[in-house]
Structures are given as C-alpha cells and as structure tokens.
C-alpha cells in the first residue's frame, strides 16, 4: 500500500498555489531515503507572478515607518515561538536533523535574529546632516533597494531563510525566496506564518513570497527584470553563476558561499578541551556547514597525541535517528551529497590515513560515520576543496609561519579559529588569517549582533548584524539650497 505524499505549494500574493504548469518534484526525507512530499517545480509563469506581487506590495511596505515594520517582525518572532513544534517537525523531516537539536540550537537563535532585525529597522545610521558647501545643507537617506530575489540552501533551510527575509523586510524591501529543491517544507511553513501576520496587521500580501523549484527556477528569479538585488547562500559555482546572471542588468548581489575553515592548534593548547570542542564544531549538522571545523592544522610536537584523541572523540560521536537525543547529527542531506563525501574518501592519496570512520552508516538514509583523516599534504584534494560532510582532516605544521601559509592557502575565506594560551600569538594570528571570522579557543558560535561573511571565493556581503542589515539598503544624498 503506497502512502500518499504531502503536497507542498508555492506562496504567492498571499495564496498557496501549485506551479502554473502543474509540474512537481518529489521531496525525500534523508533519514529514510524515501519521498514524503511533492513540491512545485516552478517555471517562468510562477516567477513572474511572485515578482509582480512583490513589486506591487513594495511601495506600501517601503513607506511604512520603521516602527510599523518592527511590529510585524516582532509578531513573526512571537509566532515562530508559538509554532515552534511545527517548525521543528518540518525541519527534521526536511533534513533528517535530530529533533532535540533543532529545538535547542535553531529555534532560539532564529527567534532572536528576527527580533534583532526588528530593532535594527529603527536604528538606521548615516552621516549627520550638515553644511559641507557654503549655502547648502546635505542629508543622507538610507532606503530599501526594492524587491529581493533570495535563494536559500539545504543545510540550514529554516535558519538561512530567516537570515535572508528578516533584514530585507526590516529595511523595507519585499521578498521572493526560493528554498532548495531538496528542503522546501520549512520555508513553505514560514510563508504560512508570515502570511498570517501580514493579514492580521493589514499589510500587503505580496510582501513575502515563496517559489519552490530547482536551479532553473533560481536562474529565472535572478535574471528577472523586477528584483533590484539577488541574495544566495550556496556553492561557489552557484554564486559565480548568480553573479554572472545578475551582471546583465547590474543587480546588487549578496553571496555567502563555501568555506574551508582552518583550525590552527598550537602546542600550548589544552588538547582534551580543544578536541572536544573541535569534534563538536566539525561534526555538528553532519559537517554540512560552511564554517565547520573540518580542516585542522596541529603543531607537530602534539600531532600524534591530538590525532589519537580526535579519533577517539570521533568513535564516540553518534549519528542516527531524529528522535534519539544522544546523537550529535543526522544524515547527509541527499543522495548526491552522500556520493560526494564518499568520493573524497575513495580518492584519498596513498599517504593519507583514515584514523576513524570513512564509511556510510546504516541500511537506509544518507548517514555517514564521523571521520578523521591524517597524513595529508597542503595540495591534497580533500584539503583544498569543501567536503561538506562529517570529515575532519589533520595536517602537521612546524611553526607559526607555516601555519599561516597553510591556513590561508585555500580559495575560501569564510571562517577560522586559533587555539593557544599565548595572547600575543592569538592577536598576531587574528591579524594575518585571511578569513571573515577568527575565533580564538572556540569555533562556530554566532550572535545576531556580529557579522557573518567571508572573502575570496566565500563571497561578499554580510549576514546578521547591522552590516547585514545595511546590505539591504541603498544610500541617497539629498542637497538643498539655504537660499530657498
């Protein structure tokens, strides 16, 4: 007997709709490997409708005073708390994530981030008005950019949707967002929440729209004539394609792309504490995090002791079912990602050594064992490229100079960490590490008040913080004559 699949739909101009041409794609639960829903495979007609709705809603939303937009966002945050269990269930099914971890590690920061941007809406900053030429007064207006086309990833579909819509709406923009084709469920639920708040408070329905689909749908959104800005969190390849597409009509682009975070461990580090924290930061969310602590550089004098401790920590780290409160992470998100992670392991050079893990786990779903690989060289594929899985690599360095050279010697530049008791060394390293974030004796904490974003092929633009908020605004100079 076949179980009927749940039907997810687009959310356009306050209504849930199927794709105009009726096309759908199956959505698979990565914990089981079985489909549980269908979602629209949206085309140009659907994208046109969503963009038209967002464009029509923009003037009224733009012209609201910030306090009114703040009320909407605060109400959305309240509703997220009220419907937390629904969101948790949707995200767990979306991604196979452990329920307890979604409840403790995702819902609270998401609510906090929405409330942060609600406050940011009322704290726009700019140079003070003044006379910079005799007889004239200049003022600065900071305005919303317009309609924002946003593409969210599959590793944190719910939280990344928040990182995108919250600053955009707070600044006075309207939104058309596309979730990944593998994880649309939680974004569709967010549309239901936001739509109900907009209705209750009497605001235009087209302020927030969700269009489900694949890469082609995303391309249609980015190339559409209506959006003034395109924002994507995804792979380097996807980001480069978005930047190229957006360049055709000079759209603004906001890119948060891949990472290959170096974790530089010096010989004076408390090994036991460092291993515990690094293992958690490397394996959390199955390593599917652009900032994951998966590239460890450890000073040669403590290398063997560190590797042994890390391998033991890996063997004690558990992956498994969503309702098991003892697991640290769930499955990889999809069959292609499982294949990619396996490929990195299969192509390891002869000088590499698998210290722990290295294989798929279980008879169903896309689970992969916590893995440690040592004996690696700087130019090895697994060192240079993002695995995006629960695989931690370890290299041995001799001195601070070599550590910096190897840490910076990749195309990514999102996040990094330094582990040492030497304050001066920590300060030197934080200066020369070419990454958007440098953690010292920790790895992966984020707060709404501080920016998240990288350099080089990790993209440009910031998420979170006042800097992320300002990315969704434009600056206008207004000059008036004092002669009337």
Distance CA 173, CA 165 (A): 9
Distance CA 461, CA 471 (A): 7
For residue 143, indicate whether it is catalytic: no
Q: Taking each helix axis from N to C terminus, what angle separates 107-120 and 157-170, rounded to the nearest 10 degrees? A: 10
CB of 384 within 8 A of CB of 260? yes
CA angle 46, 49, 52 (to 5 degrees): 150
Identify the active-site residue in 148, 290, 355, 470: 290
User: Could you give the CA distance from residue 439 to residue 448 in angstroms, rounded to a whole number?
Assistant: 16
- Residues contacting residue 438 through CB under 8 Å, at least 6 positions apart: 415, 416, 417, 418, 429, 430
Strand 174-178 with 147-151, pairing: parallel
- Between the alpha carbon of residue 340 and those of residues 303, 333, 389, the distances in Å are 28, 11, 9
| Strand, coil or helix: 274 | helix
Strands 252-256 and 391-397 come out as unpaired
Radius of gyration for the alpha carbons in the chain, expressed in angstroms and rounded: 23
Strand partners, 141: 476
Instruction: Give the Cα separation of 332 and 330 in Å (integer).
Output: 7
Catalytic residue status for 256: yes
Q: What is the DSSP annotation of 326-355?
A: T-SB---SSHHHHHHHHHHHHT--TT-EEE
In what order do the strands lie in the sheet containing 437-440? 353-356, 371-374, 391-397, 295-299, 262-265, 415-419, 437-440
Residue 118 to residues 44, 78, 149, 160: CA-CA distances in angstroms? 33, 12, 20, 17
Beta strands in 385-426 (DSSP E): 391-397, 412-413, 415-419
Q: Of 256, 355, 386, 470, which one is the catalytic site residue?
A: 256
- Residues involved in catalysis: 256, 290
């Amino acid at each position: 007997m076949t179980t009927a699949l749940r039907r997810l739909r687009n959310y356009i101009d306050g209504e849930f709709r199927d794709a105009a041409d009726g096309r759908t794609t199956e959505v698979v639960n990565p914990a089981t490997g079985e489909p549980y829903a269908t979602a629209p495979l949206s085309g140009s007609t659907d994208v046109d409708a969503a963009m038209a709705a967002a464009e029509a809603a923009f003037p009224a939303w733009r012209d609201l005073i910030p306090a009114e937009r703040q009320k909407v966002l605060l109400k959305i945050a309240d509703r997220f708390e009220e419907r937390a269990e629904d969101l948790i269930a949707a995200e767990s099914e979306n991604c196979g994530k452990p329920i307890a971890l979604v409840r403790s590690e995702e819902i609270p920061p998401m609510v906090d981030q929405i409330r942060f941007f609600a406050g940011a809406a009322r704290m726009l900053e700019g140079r003070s008005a003044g006379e910079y030429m005799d007889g004239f007064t200049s003022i600065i207006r900071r305005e919303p950019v317009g309609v924002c086309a946003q593409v969210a990833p599959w590793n944190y579909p719910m939280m990344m949707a928040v990182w995108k819509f919250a600053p955009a709406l707070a600044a006075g923009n309207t939104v058309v967002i596309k979730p990944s084709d593998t994880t649309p469920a939680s974004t569709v639920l967010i549309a239901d929440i936001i739509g109900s708040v907009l209705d209750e408070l009497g605001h235009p329905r087209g302020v927030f729209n969700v269009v489900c689909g694949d890469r082609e749908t995303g391309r249609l959104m980015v190339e559409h004539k209506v959006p003034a800005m395109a924002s994507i969190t995804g792979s380097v390849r996807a980001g480069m394609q978005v930047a190229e597409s957006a360049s055709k009509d000079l759209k603004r682009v906001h890119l948060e792309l891949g990472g290959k975070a170096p974790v530089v461990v010096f010989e004076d580090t408390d090994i036991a504490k460092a291993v515990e924290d690094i293992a958690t930061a490397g394996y959390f969310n199955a390593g599917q995090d652009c900032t994951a602590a998966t590239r460890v550089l450890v000073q040669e004098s403590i290398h063997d002791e560190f590797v042994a401790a890390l391998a033991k920590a890996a063997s004690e780290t558990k992956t498994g079912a969503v309702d098991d409160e003892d697991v640290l992470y769930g499955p990889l998100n999809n069959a292609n990602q499982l294949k990619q992670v396996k490929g990195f392991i299969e192509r390891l050079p002869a000088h590499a050594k698998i210290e722990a893990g290295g294989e798929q786990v279980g008879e169903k779903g896309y689970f992969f064992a916590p893995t440690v690989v040592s004996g690696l060289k700087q130019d090895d594929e697994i060192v240079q490229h993002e695995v995006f899985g629960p695989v931690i690599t370890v290299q041995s360095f001799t001195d601070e100079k070599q550590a910096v050279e190897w840490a910076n010697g990749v195309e990514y530049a999102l996040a990094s960490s330094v582990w040492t008791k030497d304050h001066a060394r920590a300060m030197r390293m934080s200066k020369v590490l070419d990454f958007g974030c440098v953690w010292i004796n920790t790895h992966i904490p984020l707060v709404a008040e501080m920016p998240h974003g990288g350099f080089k092929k990790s993209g440009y633009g910031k998420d979170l913080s006042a800097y992320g908020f300002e990315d969704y605004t434009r600056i206008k100079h207004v000059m008036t004559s004092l002669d009337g």
